[in-house]
Structures are given as structure tokens and as C-alpha cells.
Amino acid sequence: MAHPAETLEPKRRSFRNFIASIRYSIEGFFAALQHEPSFREDLIFAVLLVPFAIWLPVNAVSTALMISSLILILVVELLNSAIEWVIDYLRPEQHPLAKRIKDMASAAVFLSYINCIVVWSIMLWPSNAVWRRILG
């Protein structure tokens, strides 16, 4: 007997699929903007800090790390929100495992914030040459 995965044809990709994927991604982004206050707050945080990261007199790699740490927060917040929506859809009543799943997803957002703080702290540490370039 053939394994079910062996009988399936490979998924075909076309330019139309690619455009549809982009459209779904944009719809998901705007759904998060509309329905997730935490995502809106994180986005404002990122929009305010990205120009500052670009303005700082650090090398391109440092700037990229600082911006990436902000984008990571947004990505993890989107995943956290998606997990919460799925749990609420599948199990609207309270359940200890549902709470644990949501708490773990929230912990991922918290860790992404810690990552951002660590990256920015390292880049802006007083002994780093950034302050000498900014102040004088």
C-alpha cells in the first residue's frame, strides 16, 4: 500500500500563486492592524525607532541588526496573535492547555522584546564609539 504522501503531486507554483500569496499576506497584515491592539503598538514602536536606527552613526551591519530586532518583534507578535485566534476559534471555553499555549506564545513576544533591548543596548553602549560620534 502506498504512503499517502507519495501519491500526492508536488504543489505547483505559478506567478498567479505568487501574487495571490502576496495579497493574502497584505490582507493578514491589515487584519492584524484592525483587530490586534498589541500589533498596532508594536508597529508604532518600530516606525518610531527605525528612522532613529538609520540616523545613528553606526555601520550598516549594526543598523541592520537594530532594524531586524524591531521586525522580529512584529513577526513574533503576528504569530502570537494567530495562535491566540486559532485557540479562541477551536476552544472558546476556558481550558488550562489553551492558557498554556497562549502564555507560551506571549513569552515568545517577551523574548523578542528582550532581544531588541539587548541588541540596541550593545549598539548604544556608552563605551561604544557611537556616543563620541553623536556628541562630538
Residue 21 in any domain: the answer is yes
The Cα 73–Cα 111 span in angstroms is 9
Residue 120 in any domain: the answer is yes
User: Which one from 27, 36, 41, 77 is the annotated catalytic residue?
Assistant: 77
The answer to whether 74 and 42 are in contact (CB under 8 A) is: yes
Residue 130 in any domain: the answer is yes
Q: State the average pLDDT over residues 34-62.
A: 94
Which tens digits make up the pLDDT trace of 82-123?
999 999 999 888 888 999 999 999 999 999 999 999 999 988
- Residue 60: burial class (beta carbons within 10 Å; 0-12, 13-18, 19+): exposed
Residue 8 in any domain: the answer is no
pLDDT of 12 > 80? The answer is no
Residue 6 in any domain: the answer is no
The Cα 109–Cα 78 span in angstroms is 9
Residue 7 in any domain: the answer is no
Structure confidence at residue 92 (pLDDT): 83
Amino acid at 10: P
Which tens digits make up the pLDDT trace of 65-93?
999 999 999 999 999 999 999 999 998 88
CATH of the domain at 119: 1.10.287.3610
Residue 1 in any domain: the answer is no
pLDDT of 31 > 60? The answer is yes
Q: How many domains does the chain have?
A: 1
Answer yes or no: 9 catalytic.
no
In terms of residue numbers, what domain contains 59? 14-135
Residue 42 in any domain: the answer is yes
